[in-house]
Amino acid sequence: MQIRFLGAAGEVTGSQHLCEGTVAGEARRFLVDCGLFQGGRDAREKNERPFTFDPASLDFVVLTHAHLDHSGLLPRLCAAGFSGPIYTTPATRELLKILLPDSAHLQQADRERAERRQAKGRWRGELPEVLYGQEEVQACLAQVRTFDYGLTFQPVPGILMRFHDAGHILGSAIAAIDVAVDQVSPPKTRRLVFSGDLGHAGCPLTPPPELVASADVLVIESTYGDRLHKTMDQTRDELVEVVGHTLRHGGNIVIPAFAVGRTQEVLLLLAQLVREKRLPHLNVFIDSPMATAVTQLTAHFRDALEEDAQEMLAWHEAHPEALRLKLVSDVEESKALNQIRGGAIIVSASGMCEGGRVLHHLVNNLPYRQNAVIITGFQAHGTTGRMLVEKARTVRLFGQEVPVNASVHTLGGLSAHADQGGLLAWLKGFAAAPGQVFVVHGEPEASARLAEVMHERLGWKHVALPERGVAYPC
C-alpha cells in the first residue's frame, strides 16, 4: 500500500488522502476525505486545480465528518467521474444535506459578486470558479452510504472498516480500515487509522473521542498540536465577564461561530450560565439559516450528545424565557438586527468572518466601543477572523475599511479540536506504537511540535510530517 496526502499536509484545510495498493489480487484505490481548501488567496487556486488522480478509478471514498474542509470537494469529485459509494455516518449525511447545498450557493454568490465588480472595473485577475452547482450536490448525496459507529463493513473484498466516535462534531468519525495486503506471504492485515478531526474532551456538546487500541499506520490531525486550551471553567468565567460587562454598558455582542457545532456549544454554555444565575436572562439571535438547521438537527440526534447537554436541552425546553432564542430566517429580519443598538447577542456565521451574514453584523458593531466580538474558534491565516484576533485596528469588509473599536475577545476553551494534551491522551489509548505515524491537518509549527512530543513523551520513533503529493509506502 501507499498513501499520498493531497491536502492538509503542512496546512489545516483541504483534507484529501489517497490510498492505493493491491488487495485480494485487485488494484485498489480509495480516498479518505475530499475537503475544500479554505482561507487565503491560494485556497481558491488549489480548489480549482484538477484532481491529481483519475476520480473514476476510485473504488470508494471514506468521509470522516461533514466540515467542508473534509467534505467540500466531494461534489466536484463525483462530477469528475467518481461514481462509487461515499461511506460515512448517518448524522454526517444529514449535515451534508445542509452544508453542501450551502457551499454551492456561496460559490455562486461569490461568482456573481465578482462579475458585478468586474463590470464596474473593480476586479482584477481571474473570476472565482463555481466548483459545483446544486445538481452536482444532489448527485453526490445520492452516492452516500451510512454506517453507525462500531459496525464493521466491507467496502471491497479484502478491506474491512469501522467508524469510532471522534467527538468533534455531530457524526464525526475516526476511520479504522483493515487492509489485507497481498505483497507479503501469508497475506497480512494492516490497520490504517485516520483520526479525522478529534474532539476536545472538555467540549460540553460531544463525548470525548473514542480510543483505538491498535494501528499499523496512523494519520493524525494536529490543529492544536502545539498548544493547550484554557480550561472550561476559565472559558465560562470569561464568557460571564465579557457578556455581563457588555450588556451592562448597553452594547451588543457579536459571536462569529461555525454553524456546525460551535453555535450549539455557545448556546449550551450561555443557557448553563443563565441557569446558574451567573448571567441575566438573554436575548440571543441565531442569524444563520445553516446554524438554525443544524441546531434543529442537533436536537434530533440528542442521544449522541454528552449527557449534561441532553439535560440542558430539556431544561431549556421547560424554561424558554431564560434564554429567548430567535432563529432568524429571512434576510429582512437579519437586516432588522442592524437597528439593535444594545442588549443583543448575535451568533452568526461564517466562523472565520470570511463570508455570510456575520460580515454585516461586524460592519455595524465593530466601530462602537460599547460592543464586543467574541471569537470562538480556530482562525486560519489570512482570514478576517485571524486579523481580529491579532488586534488589527481596521478590517476590510465589503470593500471598505471598518475601524475596530469594539473589544475583541478570544475564548480559547471552546475548541472542537483536542489540544496537545487531548491528542496525547488519545494517542496513549494505543497499546503499542503504530508502525508509522503521519501528522497532518496543522500549520507547520503545530504539526512539528506534536511530532516532537510524540517522540519525547511516548517514545514513538516513526513519526513523519508528510509533504503534499509525495507517495509514502505504508
Footprint of Zn ion on this chain (CB under 5 A)? Answer: 67, 197
Minimal distance, residue 24 CB to Zn ion, in Å: 32
Query: Quick one: 168 or 190, whose CB is closer to Zn ion?
Result: 168
Q: Which residue, among 83, 72, 87, has the nearest Cα to 132 in the 3D structure?
A: 72
Minimal distance, residue 260 CB to Zn ion, in Å: 8
Query: Quick one: 59 or 197, whose CB is closer to Zn ion?
Result: 197
The per-residue b/e assignment along 77-94, b for 16 or more CB within 10 angstroms, e otherwise, is bbbeebebbbbbbebbbb
Minimal distance, residue 238 CB to Zn ion, in Å: 23
Specify the 3-state DSSP secondary structure of 107: helix
The Cα 68–Cα 58 span in angstroms is 20
The Cα 90–Cα 300 span in angstroms is 12
Query: Quick one: 31 or 328, whose CB is closer to Zn ion?
Result: 31
Query: Quick one: 258 or 285, whose CB is closer to Zn ion?
Result: 258
Q: Collect all residues with Cβ–Cβ distance below 8 Å to 456 and sequence separation of at least 6.
A: none
Burial of 367 (0-12, 13-18, 19+ CB in 10 A): middle
Query: Quick one: 73 or 406, whose CB is closer to Zn ion?
Result: 73
Minimal distance, residue 168 CB to Zn ion, in Å: 6
Q: Which residue, among 66, 70, 73, has the nearest Cα to 48 in the 3D structure?
A: 73
Query: Quick one: 197 or 226, whose CB is closer to Zn ion?
Result: 197
Minimal distance, residue 362 CB to Zn ion, in Å: 23
The answer to whether 176 touches 191, Cβ cutoff 8 Å, is: yes
Give, in order, the Cα–Cα distances in Å from 129 to each of 15, 41, 104, 463. Answer: 20, 13, 11, 37
